[in-house]
Structure 1
């Protein structure tokens, strides 16, 4: 199994590092069964984040045929500004839609052996690219209107499990997302072992499209 964390220009570093650390720890508890990689659509390269030039290195090309997880982070930058002059978060997420990552992630979504997951604005990047229309998802609270406007179905939960699409809310939810991926993929004992190692307890609601719908008051 593989966990491929997708880097793109302007990515949010915490959206990447939090799930990376959790999944690497999970891999250690699994005896190396889970391979965790930083990838990009363009192949191995240095990728500059949106956080003061912090750079991470993609070591491989995103491969949608590999079974496991494909994790898409959000972007970081100013919220407002002239879009022709300033790389705001909306601009960075829109640029993602023009990259080679979009057809690769579309292929991953069509692969029953792959679960696509997002952190924070990662779901917005997919929604703006037309990849998750009609799908349940969550994102940072400032982006919920955009998520809905692009055809996704917003759910106000920390983690939203819509089958082969799992999304998480604000930037720190990358920890909760990765722990949930370990729990769903390998069981609660692996996830709990990582929680104990990191001295972190998962928080918030995990929503799944199951059970009874609440009645209106």
Structure 2
């Protein structure tokens, strides 16, 4: 029997979860119980409020990451922009900090489990550090953020990376579920559910297989990737030198980061200390009185952030941003 666990969490998107649920339930009827589908949470049976006007669904069980079959993770529903605690980024970030992330990591380590995502579900996994280096897709609004987590964004309707299958926007839940039916139970069942739903899947499922297509560009020498060197373009570089105690106000809480910046030989160098982790600045550039750099952070989620700051005496202000996520305000004081 093929077991399907659809994971719910506070603020989940209704259609992300319900569309696959109906597809799998239809297949269950057509196959005389060759599969079983259940709504679950990381905590166990409970009513789970969605992000759509708080409408609730009842989860009947607790997610079992060791159960062979399919685990499907929906995205979140809410405003995309802004710093509201009910925004999609805030919901996903909070959920990524729960025990669900550890359970999904455990599931991905098994050969007999397929983890599937719909829409922002892939961002939920990515924010928990579970998709680094893996091809995936999410809602088109979140593709830049997906790349910022270290995943490899692929602009397809459905991406199959073996034990990880991801879908794009909200309605792709139908495509993901139908594709999984075809992959696990065969094309005849998937075709019959398509006929019942009067729905045809869109696009070609992307897999890392076959001949790699040639890019549609002129035959020009490709630039060689070399390690970028930090540059400085202002005589005011020394204004940023020193140790800085900074606070980044994110939608999911405040983040304390110590910055150490020094300029020598006309080059700006920097390190960021968060807890017991020290990370070097990437591509620091000083121009027009602003210092920018990129930084890989792991808390409150795994992201590549772009920083832009200015200083006024011993006070630093600026922003930290990743893709479409709301810019987080940075404030700090020089302590050395």
Q: TM-score range by the shorter chain?
A: over 0.9
Question: Structure 1: how far apart are the matches of 2:82 and 2:198?
Answer: 39
Report the counterpart of residue 114 of structure 2 in structure 1. 115
- C-alpha distance in 2 between matches for 1:89 and 1:205: 28
The residue aligned with 1:153 is: 152
The structure richer in helix per residue is 1
The corresponding residue for 1:184 is 183
Give the Cα–Cα distance (whole angstroms) in 1 for the partners of residues 80 and 145 of structure 2. 13
Question: What residue is the counterpart of 1:38 in the other structure?
Answer: 39
Deviations, residues 143-174 of structure 1 (Å, cap 9, x unaligned): 00000000100100000000000000000000
Aligned pairs for 1:127-138 (under 5 A) are 127-138=126-137
Aligned to 2:324: none
| Residue 5 (1) aligns with residue 3 (2) | no
Q: More strand per residue: 1 or 2?
A: 2
Q: In structure 2, the residue corresponding to 1:69 is in which secondary structure?
A: strand
Q: Which residue matches 1:48?
A: 49
Tell me, in whole angstroms, the C-alpha distance in 2 between the residues paired with 1:57 and 1:97.
21
Structure 2 SS opposite 1:179: helix
Moved over 6 A (4+): none
Aligned with 1:5: secondary structure?
strand
Q: Distance in 2 between matches of 1:45 and 1:180?
A: 29
Mapped partners of 1:51, 1:127: distance in 2: 23
Cα distance in 2 between the residues matched to 1:82 and 1:153:
26
Tell me the residue number matched to 1:87: 86
- Once residues 204 and 80 of structure 2 are traced to their aligned partners in structure 1, the CA distance between those partners, rounded to angstroms, is 27
2:317 maps to which residue? none
Q: Which of the pair has the greater relative contact order for Cα pairs under 8 Å at 6+ separation?
A: 1
How far apart are 1:205 and its partner, in Å?
Answer: 2.1
> What is the CA-CA distance between 1:87 and the residue it aligns to?
1.3
| TM score, norm. by length of structure 1 | 0.97
Task: Indicate the RMSD between aligned Cα atoms, in angstroms.
Answer: 0.8
- Give the aligned partner of residue 236 of structure 2: none
Q: State the TM-score, normalized to the length of structure 2.
A: 0.63
Q: Which residue of 2 aligns with 1:61?
A: 62
Deviation at 1:189, TM superposition (A): 0.3
**2:115 match: secondary structure:** strand
CA deviation profile, 1:73-111 (whole Å, cap 9, x unmatched): 00000112234xx31000001011111111111111011
Aligned length: 215
Aligned counterparts of 2:197 and 2:213: Cα–Cα separation in 1: 35
Distance 2:39 2:161 in 1: 24
